[in-house]
């Protein structure tokens, strides 16, 4: 018995016998969540389709609990693996109950009639995803968020050991995204169901996944835990985005910064500078931020958006050298914006910097209400 | 399960029961009505005597002429609806059917060819030969439709391709008949327009066994058909071997459509209109209900249309397609408009 519940060995996936992505070697333990991330068209869906046997593997095989997927009949596979696809469910005149009930297919008799036990399981699955009240509604008449939940209920009542979901959060608003993912999370942890899915939202992928697979190009870029994968250089390379665009601390993305020599100098701290940075970025005005401690809330955003950042080692008093650099940079600028923030023993010299700015006649006091929402 | 769900389920069951009882009642009424009417009127009491005791003056009229024709309308009509339902399932398109896709016309062409050749050289045509010819014709027409469907993904283009194939086959059939002015194939012209007249008892026996056998087989396939209605990918994830199932669907629907065409010629709109009406009545598309109900409905519909075809302008008979089109085409148009309304 391998330590992994689901694994692939030397798997190549693609269409018409032509490999698109090769040498896929991944392993997931039971109850873990594996998320595929990567740019559009990178082949995430192709991998998922091969895992679900909708597409024949070009080379290699996958194993569920050491049983070869290639060697499994569709019927055997349907008792182990359920899917939520991006594809629209066809069918007409179906209530949500009917759709969920199709999940019982592998377990019903020759004519597909549901037993009382099947019906109970259908309702239990709907309850599980908070879709109970949708049972008698027409499947075409519900919202995207409800539809995804009904499809998830369908997958759940198939009683699988693995659920494969292709971009389950597309078209969902933030509340429904969180709802769906937390259902997946609790299913994985409580019932030991292994989840394999693709996501576009890398911030959510980071938070929900146990394993991350980065797909780009003809082979797997990276495979590992979120801690290993969510590094600026990996994400930047994966999506082909410039340095600073992905903010590792917040797990969020930033638009490209204005380039050129700084025209504005921003003195800020404790998060108060963030709205100012964003405003300057929208005005396309290159700016210099300083003096920021490297653990300041403003610091990561400044690094993404500022043309120049003057920073100091956390918890140390501002050194002469840093101060001199800041002063030099400030003198090059046309204006200085100062956002009020606490000044204590460590950053005492910020006060000197503000005085200098005042003396140079560059200082604009930032009105506090403009950043009240920071 | 809450109370509302229970009532909803009970209401659905009551509906299904009502539809089936209604269909069976309509079936019985139309059967009697059909036997009863024609150039010689026969009272109902007399009919019962003839059918159950096999005695009476008009026994020959009923037993030799009217009964085979009625059974033909019932069984072949049911077969048409069934074949239409299978094609709609296969193409995922509610207006697919043996007539619009040109399958019936393909059968017609092949049956005409076999008949002309056989009558000229062997002077004998068996039911087997006709059905095999019709099946081969249906499969070839289906092959062309599938080719078109593969290169053009659009559903409307599929239908256009089917209609064109139908026209080509009809033209070729007309051509054959025009130049084969044999006295034996005068009847052929009637048949190419679609008709239940002239059905013989040995035909009845033959197609009844074939079509009722197909009905049973299709009914037993309700489960995978239901899965297939959700889309191929979902069907496969439920454990259906989709590739094999597609082949079975094609063979089954072509066999039924071919068999109907071999005995009654091409009949329009039954295959589309009846399954649609049945789904509307049942308010569900579940195959386990729709398959038997469509079969019954197709029988009722064709018996009704055949009744009109032979009585309205008696002694002149209309072709059955004339009547089925009058009732079937508006249903199809209504369905298209309704569907369009739902989408936009």
d(CA B300, CA A359): 99
Q: Is B7 exposed, middle or buried (0-12, 13-18, 19+ CB in 10 A)?
A: exposed
What domains does chain B contain, in order, with CATH numbers? Answer: 11-343 (1.10.3470.10)
Q: How confident is the model at residue B311 (pLDDT cuts 50, 70, 90)?
A: confident
Question: Which of B226, B238, B285 to probe by mutation at the A interface, max A CB count within 10 Å?
Answer: B238
Give how far A222 is from chain B: nearest CA, Å: 29
Helices B287-311, B222-229: inter-axial angle, 10-degree rounding: 100
Matching residue, tokens 């078109």: B148
The whole-number pLDDT of residue B216 equals 97
Higher pLDDT, residue B45 or B76? B76
| C-alpha of A328 from chain center | 40
- Which ipTM was obtained for this model? 0.83
d(CA A314, CA B235): 59
Nearest Cα to B245, choosing from A102, A75, A55? Answer: A75
Question: Which chain B residues have a beta carbon less than 8 Å from that of A83?
Answer: 233-234, 237
pLDDT at position A373 over 50: no
Identify which of A82, A91, A111 has the shortest CB distance to residue B288: A111
pLDDT at position B249 over 50: yes
Q: For A113, which residue in chain B has the nearest alpha carbon?
A: B223
Contact A111 B229 (CB under 8 A): no
Question: What would the pLDDT profile of B109-145 be if each residue is shown by its tens digit?
Answer: 998 888 888 877 777 777 888 889 999 999 999 998 8
Question: Which chain A residues have a beta carbon less than 8 Å from that of B227?
Answer: 102, 105
> Which residues partner with A363 through β-bridges?
A336
Average pLDDT along chain A: 89
- Average pLDDT of B292-318? 91
Question: What would the pLDDT profile of A253-282 be if each residue is shown by its tens digit?
Answer: 788 888 889 999 999 999 889 999 999 999
Phi and psi at B67, nearest 5°, equal: -60, -50
Q: Is B282 exposed, middle or buried (0-12, 13-18, 19+ CB in 10 A)?
A: buried
The whole-number pLDDT of residue B342 equals 63
Nearest Cα to B99, choosing from B324, B250, B271? Answer: B271
C-alpha distances (whole Å) from A183 to each of A87, A158, A189 are 21, 16, 10
Share above pLDDT 70 across residues of chain A, in percent, rounded to a whole number: 97
What is the three-state SS of B22-79? HHHHHHHHHHHHHHHCCCCCCCHHHHHHHHHHCCCCCHHHHHHHHHHHHHHHHHHHHH
> Which residues partner with B40 through β-bridges?
none
Give how far B276 is from chain A: nearest CA, Å: 11
Contact B342 A140 (CB under 8 A): yes
The secondary structure element, H or E, covering residue A196 is: strand A194-198
Q: How confident is the model at residue B186 (pLDDT cuts 50, 70, 90)?
A: low
d(CA B113, CA B103): 16
Q: For A54, which residue in chain B has the nearest alpha carbon?
A: B233
Concatenated DSSP letters of A25-92: --EE-TT-EEEEE-STTSSHHHHHHHHTTSS--SEEEEEETTEESTTS-HHHHHTTEEEE-SSPP--S
Question: Which chain A residues have a beta carbon less than 8 Å from that of B279?
Answer: 92-93
Average pLDDT along chain B: 86
Both structure tokens of A102: 């199709």
Contact A108 B223 (CB under 8 A): yes
The whole-number pLDDT of residue B240 equals 94
Dihedral over Cα of A208, A211, A21, A15: its sign: negative
Q: How confident is the model at residue A370 (pLDDT cuts 50, 70, 90)?
A: very low
Contact B234 A102 (CB under 8 A): yes
- Enumerate the H helices of chain A as residue ranges: 44-51, 74-78, 96-101, 116-128, 144-156, 174-191, 202-208, 226-229, 232-239, 274-282, 298-305, 320-332, 349-360
What domains does chain A contain, in order, with CATH numbers? Answer: 6-245 (3.40.50.300), 254-371 (3.40.50.80)
d(CA B123, CA B89): 40
Q: How confident is the model at residue A218 (pLDDT cuts 50, 70, 90)?
A: confident
The whole-number pLDDT of residue A250 equals 76
Question: Which chain B residues have a beta carbon less than 8 Å from that of A75?
Answer: 239
What separation, in Å, do the N-terminal and C-terminal C-alpha atoms of chain B show? 35
């Amino acid at each position: 018995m391998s330590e992994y519940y689901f694994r692939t060995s030397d798997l190549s996936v693609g269409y018409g016998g032509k490999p698109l992505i090769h040498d896929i070697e991944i392993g997931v333990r039971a109850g873990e969540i594996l998320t595929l991330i990567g740019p559009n068209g990178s082949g995430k869906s192709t991998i998922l389709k091969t895992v679900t046997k909708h597409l024949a593997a070009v080379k290699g095989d996958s194993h569920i609990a050491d049983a070869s997927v290639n060697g499994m009949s569709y019927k055997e596979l349907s008792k182990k693996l359920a899917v939520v696809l991006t594809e629209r469910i066809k069918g007409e005149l179906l209530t949500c109950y009917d759709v969920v009930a199709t999940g019982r297919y592998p377990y019903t008799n020759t004519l597909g009639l549901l037993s009382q036990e099947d019906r109970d399981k259908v309702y239990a699955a709907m309850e599980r995803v908070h879709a109970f009240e949708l049972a008698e509604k027409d499947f075409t008449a519900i919202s995207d968020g409800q539809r995804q939940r009904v499809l998830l209920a369908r997958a759940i009542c198939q009683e699988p050991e693995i659920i494969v979901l292709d971009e389950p959060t597309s078209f969902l608003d933030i509340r429904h995204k969180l709802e769906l993912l937390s259902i997946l999370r609790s299913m994985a942890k409580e019932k030991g169901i292994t989840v394999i899915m693709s996501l576009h939202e890398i911030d959510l992928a980071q938070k929900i996944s146990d394993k991350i697979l980065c797909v780009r190009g003809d082979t797997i870029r990276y495979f590992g835990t979120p801690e290993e994968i969510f590094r600026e250089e990996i994400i930047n390379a994966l999506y082909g985005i410039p340095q600073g665009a992905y903010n590792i601390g917040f797990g969020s993305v930033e638009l490209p910064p204005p380039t050129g020599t700084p025209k504005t100098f921003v003195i800020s701290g404790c998060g108060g500078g963030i709205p100012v940075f964003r405003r300057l970025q929208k005005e396309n005005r290159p700016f210099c931020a300083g003096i920021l401690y490297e653990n300041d809330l403003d610091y990561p955003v400044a690094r993404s958006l500022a043309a120049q950042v003057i920073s100091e080692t956390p918890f140390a008093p501002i050194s002469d050298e840093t101060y001199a650099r800041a002063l030099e940079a400030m003198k090059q600028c046309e204006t200085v914006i100062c956002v009020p923030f606490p000044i204590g023993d460590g950053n005492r010299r910020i006060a000197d910097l503000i005085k200098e700015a005042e003396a140079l006649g560059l200082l604009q006091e930032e009105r506090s209400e403009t950043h009240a929402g920071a | 399960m809450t109370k509302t769900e229970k009532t909803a389920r009970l209401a659905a069951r009551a509906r299904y029961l009502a539809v089936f009882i209604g269909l069976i009642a309509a079936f019985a009424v139309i059967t009697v009505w059909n036997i009863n009417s024609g150039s010689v009127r026969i009272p109902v009491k007399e009919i019962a005597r003839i059918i159950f005791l096999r005695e009476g003056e008009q026994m020959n009229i009923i037993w030799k002429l009217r009964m085979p024709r009625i059974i033909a309308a019932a069984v072949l009509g049911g077969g048409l609806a069934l074949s239409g339902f299978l094609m709609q399932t296969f193409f995922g398109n509610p207006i697919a059917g043996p007539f619009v896709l040109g399958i019936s016309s393909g059968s017609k062409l092949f049956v005409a060819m076999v008949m002309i050749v056989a009558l000229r050289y062997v002077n004998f045509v068996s039911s087997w030969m006709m059905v095999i010819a019709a099946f081969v014709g249906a499969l070839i027409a289906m092959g062309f439709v599938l080719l078109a469907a593969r290169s053009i993904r659009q559903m409307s283009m599929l239908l256009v391709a089917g209609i064109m194939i139908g026209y080509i086959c009809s033209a070729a059939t007309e051509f054959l008949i025009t130049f084969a002015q044999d006295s034996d194939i005068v009847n052929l012209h009637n048949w190419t327009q679609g008709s239940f007249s002239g059905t013989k008892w040995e035909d009845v026996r033959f197609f009844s066994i074939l079509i009722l056998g197909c009905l049973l087989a299709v009914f037993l396939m309700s489960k995978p058909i239901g899965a297939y209605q959700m889309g191929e990918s979902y069907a496969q994830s439920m454990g259906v071997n989709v590739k094999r199932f597609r082949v079975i669907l094609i063979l089954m629907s072509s066999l039924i459509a071919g068999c109907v065409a071999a005995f009654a010629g091409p009949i329009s709109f039954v295959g589309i209109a009846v399954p649609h009406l049945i789904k509307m009545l049942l308010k569900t598309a579940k195959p386990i209900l729709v398959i038997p109900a469509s079969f019954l409905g197709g029988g009722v519909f064709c018996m009704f249309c055949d009744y009109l075809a032979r009585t309205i302008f008696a002694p002149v008979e209309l072709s059955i397609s004339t009547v089925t089109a009058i009732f079937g085409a508006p249903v199809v148009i209504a369905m298209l408009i309704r569907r369009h309304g739902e989408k936009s």
